[in-house]
Structure 1
Amino acid sequence: MNLQDPRLVLAAIVLLFAGPLVVAVTLHSERWGFRPDQLRNEGHLVQPPVPIDLVRQPPQPDPSGRWAVLYPLPSECATACWQDLAALGRLHRALGRRQQEVEIVLLDAAGLPAGERTELARGFGRFTLATTASGDMATALDRVTPPGVAIAAGAPTRGGAFIIDPGGNIILSYAPGFDPGHIKKDLQRLLH
């Protein structure tokens, strides 16, 4: 093999520059399904984002500029509901210095009994209780519920959780039985 052969030198140069390009195009193509972890959400991306108009109770100062984690409360808060609320409380504390940039909003679309409202205020006073301005939350939740999640007919809320951007749009949804670590991971990406 003669290294002075111009054809070999030309082939080596083409391989040197074209090889990485071929590898990059191959990895980027949808055919291989390669997605680095830092580019993948844990929640289901809502496309297009669904606007939601929340009425906070009691009225709050302008919440614009803050991210929110929305948790639709069921008509009666059973054990799973209280576990989710405790997990959301831990999630909020785990955000550390970023806590001020994220609020936890409990959506009371079904109208909680007064006793449960009092218990919520006592145990989760840092959470914000809200309803929707339009009152048509079921339609909005139908549009953002992750694929493959079965919804009971006539259920006023859908379970799970949602991330709302500072503009008031639902951008990510999480199925019932969500892992709070997934929400934290997505929030940390969004806040940086």
Structure 2
Amino acid sequence: MNSNPPLPTSSEAARIRRGRWILVLIFLLFFGTIFGAGVLRFSGWQPHGTKAHGEMLRPAVDARAVVPKLAGGGDYAWRPAERMWRIVVAPPADCASDCLKLAKDLDVVWQLFGNNADHVEILWIGPRPAGAPDTVSLRQLQPTPELLTALPRVNDPAGVPVYVIDPNGFVILRYAPGTDPGFIRTDVSKLLKLI
């Protein structure tokens, strides 16, 4: 009696090799995809559609403890339950034509939000420029040191930066002076979908 199993025929051996190669390919496909995704994730790459045009502040600046003062008197409350996003501008006192253009551009941006405009306010810190549109969404605030400190690099020598504050009172985005207002609209439109 022969205790050794019979040797596979050449067709059976080819089928076994093919099965092994298929198993190796499935393994490479599965783990190669995971490895590739990990490399992209940790290298900082993001798909184009998910990137914000503004500078994402990491960590976000916590301004919840700051109680902004309205220009006409009284406090401006963050009111997180209302899910209100804020576009914030803190220009220097001597800002004239650039601030007027920015005020008009932000008014157009606010109007383009359409039915979502109810969830966006524009906070103008300090005096509004002469001739600026008197929009419903604009809240004029006093330039208190606590509020200005919550806005990173607010005194930019290149011009007036724009910020986005989330409904809870966190400063999450900063736009460099001269940023296309369409980029602000695009980013805030994405944020509005989160509510």
Could you tell me the TM-score, scaled by structure 2's length? 0.73
> Which residue pairs with 1:160 in the alignment?
161
C-alpha displacement at 1:93, in angstroms? 0.5
What does 1:77-116 align with in structure 2 at a 5 Å threshold? 77-108=95-126, 112=127, 116=129
Is the Cα–Cα contact under 8 Å of residues 145 and 173 in structure 1 kept in the other structure? no
Q: Which residue of 2 aligns with 1:54?
A: 68
Counterpart CA distance in 2 for 1:42 and 1:128 is: 24
Counterpart position of 2:3? none
TM-fit CA distance, 1:63: 5.1
Shift of 1:137: 4.3
- 1:56 partner SS: coil
Identity within the alignment, % = 26
The answer for the alignment partner of 2:30 in structure 1 is: 17
107 and 24 in structure 1: CA distance in 2 versus 1, 3 angstrom threshold:
same
Runs of 4+ in 1 over 6 A off after TM superposition: none
Contact 2:56 2:173 in 1 (8 A): yes
CA distance in 1 between counterparts of 2:89 and 2:139 reads 10
Q: Secondary structure at 1:99's aligned position in 2? A: helix
Structure 1 gaps of 5+ residues are 153-157
Distance 1:83 1:130 in 2: 19
Aligned residues: 172
Q: Which amino acid aligns with 1:76?
A: D
> Matched residue of 1:57: which SS?
coil
Q: Is the 8 A contact 2:67 2:75 kept in 1?
A: no
Q: Give runs of aligned pairs for residues 124-163 of structure 1, distance below 5 A.
A: 124-126=134-136, 127-132=138-143, 134-141=144-151, 144-145=152-153, 151=157, 159-163=160-164
Q: Secondary structure at the match of 1:54?
A: coil
Work out the CA distance in 1 between the residues paired with 2:135 and 2:38.
51
What's the TM-score once normalised by structure 1's chain length?
Answer: 0.74
Larger RCO, structures 1/2 (Cα 8 Å, 6+ apart): 1
Contact 1:69 1:164 in 2 (8 A): yes
Aligned position for 2:181: 180
Q: Which runs of 5+ in 2 are unaligned?
A: 1-12
